[in-house]
């Protein structure tokens, strides 16, 4: 049996920290409101000259170093991002060039906060099909560029950052299953509805969101995908060693864990210091738990994402 296996992880957060207290002087909000409604205390903001590919570059270098691979070893680059450097070329092609990786498929995946799960599932299929041996999979976002900094209902939620993994072919265990879903009926509850036409921006180029609808939808599907993954692999909830959910809101994470009966000690949470980093949130949390030694060989790690589209999905790994 051929698997794909994560052999290195990396992350990058921009230097600038924006705290809840900083936001108090920008919009009519309070540290207390943000902390109790979302669990977020601070988030990182990219410098003006930092693009999604720059954040991705730093995270990728760290993941490649951890994996012990060089540019010549990578034969697939997939970047999940909602905030690409430019309309085209893809951020994956820009990253490929910055890393000096030559002649391999490179493309972006746009599935908003589920993007990393979509990208990892896609890379897994390439590897198990024998189409490539070593993939670089990255989630990178500069959400600060698509937020209306006068809209308190959205600007307090998000942050910038990037996480990356290197995935290689393995005959030992690795990714056990992945499940991807989407329902375009819900496309309007979370969106950046603007577009560029004839040199002008048409429609609103900032995040718009029906917070309560998103909340309920997220809790529902985040529970469903866990059961879906467990059923496919004949596992029980108690077999999950680490749950790594998309880091949108602590109340969504707490509700999901409670409904599933998973103790919070088994859930990786990084959103206090990072906010919602969309496609970067899962690889950032994964990297944190790998580097601090929480995730150990042989353990079951379940990644689950949910985001605009609406999209959702899971990747189950035996580490
Ligand atoms: N500071 C202070 N007050 C605020 C703020 C703020 N930053 N934002 C909204 N409010 C006010 C509202 O105006 C409203 O005031 P009103 O009662 O006078 O009208 C009041 O707070 C309550 O607003 P609600 O929207 O009902 O607040 P709620 O408890 O639902 O919390 C939140 C809002 C945090 C957005 C919640 O709906 C939520 O977590 N939704 C999930 C959305 C999410 O996580 N999105 C991330 C992207 S989606 C994803 O990644 C899957």
Query: CA 106, CA 92: separation in Å to the nearest integer?
Result: 5
Output the pLDDT for position 130.
94
Output the pLDDT for position 209.
96
86 pLDDT higher than 90: yes
Dump pLDDT digits (tens) for 154-197. 999 999 999 999 999 999 889 999 999 999 999 999 999 999 99
Domain ranges of the chain: 3-171, 176-318
What separation in Å is there between the alpha carbon of 37 and the centre of ligand 1? 7
Atom of ligand 1 nearest to the CA of 212: 37
Residue nearest to atom 35 of ligand 1 (CA): 211
Residue identified by tokens 């036409």 is: 197
Q: Which of 60, 314, 303 is nearest to 167 (CA)?
A: 60
Output the pLDDT for position 117.
98
Query: CA 127, CA 6: separation in Å to the nearest integer?
Result: 12
Dump pLDDT digits (tens) for 127-161. 999 999 999 999 999 999 999 999 999 999 999 99
Residue 140 contacts residue 280 (beta carbons within 8 Å): yes
Dump pLDDT digits (tens) for 93-130. 999 999 999 999 999 999 999 999 999 999 999 999 99
Q: What is the DSSP string of 159-222?
A: -EEEEEEEEEEESS--EEEEEEEE-GGGTTSEE---EEETTEEES--S-EE-HHHHHHHHHHHH
Catalytic positions are 113, 246, 276
What separation in Å is there between the alpha carbon of 36 and the centre of ligand 1? 11
Token reading at 71: 């540019």
pTM of the model: 0.97
Residue 136 contacts residue 81 (beta carbons within 8 Å): no
What CATH superfamily is the domain 3-171? Thiolase/Chalcone synthase (3.40.47.10)
Give the whole-number percent of the chain exceeding pLDDT 90. Answer: 98
What separation in Å is there between the alpha carbon of 34 and the centre of ligand 1? 9
Fold of 176-318: Peroxisomal Thiolase; Chain A, domain 1 (3.40.47)
Instruction: Output the CA–CA distances (angstroms, integers) from residue 51 to 40, 81, 170, 252, 255, in the order listed.
Output: 23, 11, 33, 29, 34
Pocket test for ligand 1, best of 19, 149, 214 (most atoms within 8 A of CB): 214
Q: Please state the rounded mean pLDDT for residues 84-92.
A: 98
Q: Please state the rounded mean pLDDT for residues 30-40.
A: 98
Residue nearest to atom 47 of ligand 1 (CA): 248
Query: CA 106, CA 227: separation in Å to the nearest integer?
Result: 32
Dump pLDDT digits (tens) for 19-32. 999 999 999 999 99
Output the pLDDT for position 173.
86
User: Residues near ligand 1 with C-beta < 6 Å?
Assistant: 29, 33-34, 37-38, 113, 152-153, 156-157, 190, 209, 211-212, 214-215, 218, 246, 248-249, 276, 306-307
Instruction: Output the CA–CA distances (angstroms, integers) from residue 14 to 11, 18, 73, in the order listed.
Output: 10, 11, 27
Dump pLDDT digits (tens) for 255-292. 999 999 999 999 999 999 999 999 999 999 999 999 99
Residue 286 contacts residue 279 (beta carbons within 8 Å): no
What separation in Å is there between the alpha carbon of 307 and the centre of ligand 1? 16
Residue identified by tokens 């924006």 is: 18
Residue 178 contacts residue 316 (beta carbons within 8 Å): yes
Output the pLDDT for position 172.
85
Mean pLDDT of the chain: 97
Residue 313 contacts residue 179 (beta carbons within 8 Å): yes
Atom of ligand 1 nearest to the CA of 215: 41
Sequence-separated (6 or more) residues with CB below 8 Å from residue 31: 19, 20, 21, 24, 41
Output the pLDDT for position 2.
87
What separation in Å is there between the alpha carbon of 211 and the centre of ligand 1? 6
Output the pLDDT for position 1.
76
Query: CA 226, CA 52: separation in Å to the nearest integer?
Result: 30
Query: CA 294, CA 30: separation in Å to the nearest integer?
Result: 33
């Amino acid at each position: 049996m051929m698997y794909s296996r994560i052999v290195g992880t990396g992350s990058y957060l921009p230097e600038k920290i924006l705290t809840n207290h900083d936001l108090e002087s920008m919009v009519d909000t309070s540290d207390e409101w943000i902390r109790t409604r979302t669990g977020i205390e601070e988030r990182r903001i990219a410098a003006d000259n930092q693009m999604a590919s720059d954040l991705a570059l730093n995270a990728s270098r760290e993941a490649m170093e951890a994996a012990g691979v060089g540019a010549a070893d990578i034969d697939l680059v997939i970047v999940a991002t909602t905030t690409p450097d430019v309309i085209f070329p893809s951020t994956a092609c820009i990253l490929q060039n910055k890393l000096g990786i030559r002649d391999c498929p490179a493309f972006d995946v746009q599935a908003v906060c589920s993007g990393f799960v979509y990208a990892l599932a896609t890379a897994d299929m390439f590897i198990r099909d024998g189409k490539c041996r070593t993939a670089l999979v990255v989630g990178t976002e500069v959400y600060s560029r698509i937020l209306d900094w006068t809209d308190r209902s959205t600007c307090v939620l998000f942050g910038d950052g990037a996480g990356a993994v290197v995935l290689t072919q393995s005959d030992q265990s690795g990714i056990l299953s992945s499940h991807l879903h989407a329902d375009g009926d819900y496309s309007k509850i979370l969106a950046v509805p603007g577009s560029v036409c004839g040199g002008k921006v048409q429609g609103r180029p900032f995040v718009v969101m029906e917070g309560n609808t998103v909340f309920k939808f997220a809790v529902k599907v985040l529970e469903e995908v866990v059961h879906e993954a467990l059923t496919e692999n004949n596992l029980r909830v108690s077999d999950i060693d680490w749950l790594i959910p998309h880091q949108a809101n602590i109340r969504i994470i707490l509700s999901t864990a409670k409904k599933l009966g998973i103790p919070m000690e088994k859930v990786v949470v990084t959103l206090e210091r990072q906010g919602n980093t969309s496609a970067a949130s899962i690889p950032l949390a994964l990297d944190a738990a790998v580097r601090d030694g929480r995730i150990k060989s042989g353990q079951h790690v379940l990644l689950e994402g949910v985001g605009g589209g609406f999209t959702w999905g899971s990747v189950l790994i035996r580490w």
